[in-house]
Amino acid sequence: MKDLDTHQALRVWDLPTRLFHWGLVLCVGGAVVCAKLGGNAMAWHLRFGYAVMALLVFRLLWGVFGGHWSRWRQMLYGPAATWRYLRGQALPDDHFDVGHNPLGALSVLVMLAWLAVQVGSGLISDDEVATSGPLAAWVSSETSLEWTDYHQHLGQWGLYAMLGLHVGAVLFHQWFKRRQLIGAMLGGDKLAPAHLQASRDSAATRLFALTLLTACVAAVYLLVTLGAPG
């Protein structure tokens, strides 16, 4: 029998989760850059926004069907577990350093929710100049203007703040606590107790993830094309 204290490389982040993460980084970054450029680049701002929406829907579903450490149940901590983490008094079965720790999980959930609201507000926004969301005509002009103001101000700056905190927390753990968070999100593995369950990351699960993502892209495409008035 293996010693339960023995550590080995454990597949924590499956390939679909890793591609989602870096795809979201690229799409959010692209949307921000295009919004700052304005003009003709706004068409790409919208496309990047649609891509973010498809990725968010995929992640919502992957939290149910994905690898062990990517599932929502591994990211939902109760008050007791969170308090143990804050006090540095983790129990042997907590394993806060394997998947997301309680604060990391909370920050990820809040950031994904904020992104979802930001994308949703963009769908019904109208700058009254040259760019409007594909569903702007489905709401009143007052509602559209209110959400446009949110999208351009509170939503935008709140997102910047969350992204900054997220990057800062990752770098803090990477440099000061010597935890290879970036390497794990690139390669998928972490050094962890050998008895822990690894995330499924087979060819079959990757094919399923690709099929799921394709369905999400198709759903977003239908929303923004068929949902928009002719």
Distance CA 124, CA 177 (A): 43
Distance CA 99, CA 146 (A): 38
Least Cα distance to 46 among 167, 138, 151 occurs for 151
Rg (CA), the chain: 20
Distance CA 226, CA 222 (A): 5
CA 120, 121, 123, 126: dihedral to nearest 10 degrees? 180
Q: pLDDT per residue over 60-119, tens digit each?
A: 999 999 999 999 999 999 999 999 998 888 888 888 889 899 988 999 999 999 999 999
- pTM for this entry: 0.92
Distance CA 98, CA 196 (A): 9
Q: pLDDT per residue over 187-202, tens digit each?
A: 999 988 888 999 999 9
